[in-house]
Amino acid sequence: MTNFTEEQKKQETTMEKYVEVYNYTNKILDLIEKQEISTEEAEWVTRQTVDNFRDHVNPGFLSYRKSVTKDGQFAAVEWKDSGLNCFMDVNGKEYIDCLGGFGIYNVGHGHPKVKQAVFNQMNRQALHSQDLLDPLRAMLAKILADITPGDLKYAFFANSGTEAVEAALKLAKMHSDRTTFIATTRAFHGKSLGSLSGTAKGVFRKPFLPMIPGFRHVHFGDIEMMRKTMEVCAMVGEDVAAVIIEPIQGEGGVNLPPEAYLKQLRELCDQYGALLIFDEVQTGMGRTGKMFCCEHYGVVPDILCLAKAFGGGIMPAGAIVATEEVFKSFFPNPFMHTTTFGGNPLACAAAIATFNVLIEENLPARAAEMGEFMLKGLREAADEHGDKVLEIRGMGLLIGIEFHNDEIGYEVSKGLFDKGILVAGTLINAKTIRIEPPLTITIEQAERVIAEFRNVLAQIRV
C-alpha cells in the first residue's frame, strides 16, 4: 500500500497534477471564443494540430494529406465557415467546398436558420432526461412520415449513417425472422460491423472477417444476378430478409443504376418476401434534385436510411423511416433497439430546421438545376481531354469525374486545392473524384470551379 505524504495528498485534492492540461484547455477555450485570430495564434494552431495528429491522432492522416496537396499545403488547418458555400483555413485562405463533408452541407455551411434553431433549443434544454416524452423527436417523426414517399410512417433516430444502417438491419431481422441480406458491389453503408457487412470494399472488410453471417454481394445494377441469387437463397432455405442498396452509389464513385433497375428490384423483393432498404444517407435531403433520390425512380422502400445532411451540417444526426407493417415489430418492446443520444433535442432541432430550409429555398429543384449546369460545364471542360477523363456522370449535385487512373485524379485534386477548390477522391474508387457542393452554390462559384477544372486539366501531362 502506498502512503501519500501530506504534500502529495494536497496535490491530489487540488488537482495540481492537471495544471498543464488545465492551462492548455484554457488556451483552447480562448481560441474557440475568438472570431479572428492573429498570425502568431494561427501558427500556434497549425503547429499544435500537425504535432498532435502525428503523435496522438494518427500520423497516417498526414501522409494522406501529403498525397492530395502540393508543397506544404498538407498542413492546411480548417478554421471557419465563410458564407454558405466556402470555408477558410487558419491562414485565411478561402476554399469553395465542392466536397461538402461528403455530402453533409446540403443547406450550406452554418445556415443561419439551422444554427438559430440549435442555439434556441440549447438555451432551453440541450439533452433530455431520456424518460419523459420528448416533443421534438415526435414532431420530427411526423415530418418524416409526411415528407418521405409512399407509406413510410415510423422513425427511429440515430447519430450517424452507420447507426441508421444498423437500425435498418436489426429491424429487418426482427420483422422477417430471416438472416440473409443482399448488398451490392461498390456499396458503402458504413464501417461498424453490421453496416460493414454490407459495405463492399475488400480492404475495409478483410481484417475484420468474418462479417455478420448471411451477407451476400451481387453486382450493382445487374438485375439478373439479383434474381438468381434470390432464387438460390429461397431454394436452399436461406430466404432473404432484405436487400440493402444506395439508389445512386456515392462513395463507390457516383454510380447510377440502369433506368428500370430499382423498379425491377422492388418487384423481386415483393416476389420473394424480402424487404427493400434504401440507404439514402448521401442521396437524401435534396442532393440529387428531388427530396429523396428514390423519387426519381418511383420506387418506395420498406426502410429508408438517412444521415449526413439530415443534421443540416450543424449536428450529427441519422434516422430510419419504415412502413408500419415493418416497424411494428418494434412496438411490443420499444427498448429492443435504442441509443442514448439518437434523436436528442439538438439534433432534432437541426433536422427540423433543415427540412424547413430545404422547402423554403426550394433546394432540391436548385440541386437539379445547378447539377445540370455543372455537369454540362465540366463535360465541356473535359471535351479535349479524353486521354485523361474517362467519364463525368451524376444526378443533381452528386457528380463524379472518372479519370483513366488514380494518378490523374490525385493531380486534379491537388491542382484544384491549390486554387482554393476542395473536391473528394471517393474512398472506394480513387479514380473518381466527387463534386458535392452545398445545394446553395452560386452560378459564379460553379463557373469558377468549371474554369479551374479546365485550367488544371490543361496543365496535367499524362
- Cα–Cα nearest to 379, from 394, 369, 364: 394
Euclidean distance between CA atoms 95 and 421, whole angstroms: 5
Number of residues that bind ligand PLP (CB under 6 A): 16
Q: Does 176 bind ligand PLP (CB under 6 A)?
A: no
The residue within the footprint of ligand PLP, chosen from 307, 326, 416, 421 (CB under 6 A), is 307
- Cα–Cα nearest to 121, from 360, 348, 358, 359: 348
Euclidean distance between CA atoms 107 and 113, whole angstroms: 10
**Comparison of 105 and 188: residue with beta carbon closer to ligand PLP:** 188
Residue nearest to ligand PLP (CB): 161
Task: Name residue 157's beta-bridge partners.
Answer: 319
Name the one range near ligand PLP by CB under 6 A: 86-94, 158-166, 261-269, 380-388. 158-166
- Cα–Cα nearest to 432, from 388, 396, 368: 388
Q: Does 160 bind ligand PLP (CB under 6 A)?
A: yes
Residues of this chain, 314-373, that bind ligand PLP according to CB under 6 A: none
Q: Does 452 bind ligand PLP (CB under 6 A)?
A: no
**Comparison of 183 and 412: residue with beta carbon closer to ligand PLP:** 183
Q: Does 81 bind ligand PLP (CB under 6 A)?
A: no
The answer to whether the Cα torsion of 100, 101, 107, 111 is positive or negative is negative
The residue within the footprint of ligand PLP, chosen from 97, 134, 251, 402 (CB under 6 A), is 251
Q: Does 190 bind ligand PLP (CB under 6 A)?
A: yes
**Comparison of 197 and 282: residue with beta carbon closer to ligand PLP:** 282
Q: Does 266 bind ligand PLP (CB under 6 A)?
A: no
Give the number of other CB atoms < 10 A from CB of residue 305.
33
Q: Does 189 bind ligand PLP (CB under 6 A)?
A: yes
Q: Does 109 bind ligand PLP (CB under 6 A)?
A: no
Q: Does 445 bind ligand PLP (CB under 6 A)?
A: no
Q: Does 282 bind ligand PLP (CB under 6 A)?
A: yes
Name the one range near ligand PLP by CB under 6 A: 105-113, 277-285, 361-369, 408-416. 277-285
Q: Does 161 bind ligand PLP (CB under 6 A)?
A: yes
**Comparison of 226 and 424: residue with beta carbon closer to ligand PLP:** 424
**DSSP secondary structure letters along 156-198:** EEESSHHHHHHHHHHHHHHHHS--EEEEETT----SSHHHHHH
Q: Does 157 bind ligand PLP (CB under 6 A)?
A: no
Q: Would strands 215-218 and 180-184 be described as parallel, antiparallel, or unpaired?
A: parallel
Q: Would strands 318-323 and 303-306 be described as parallel, antiparallel, or unpaired?
A: antiparallel
Residue 164 burial (C-beta neighbours within 10 Å; 0-12, 13-18, 19+): buried
Q: What are phi and psi of 296, to 5 degrees?
A: -60, -30
158, 170, 329, 339 from 336: Cα distances, Å: 14, 9, 9, 10
Instruction: By CB under 6 A, name the binding residues for ligand PLP.
Output: 102, 160-162, 165, 188-190, 246, 250-251, 279, 281-282, 307-308
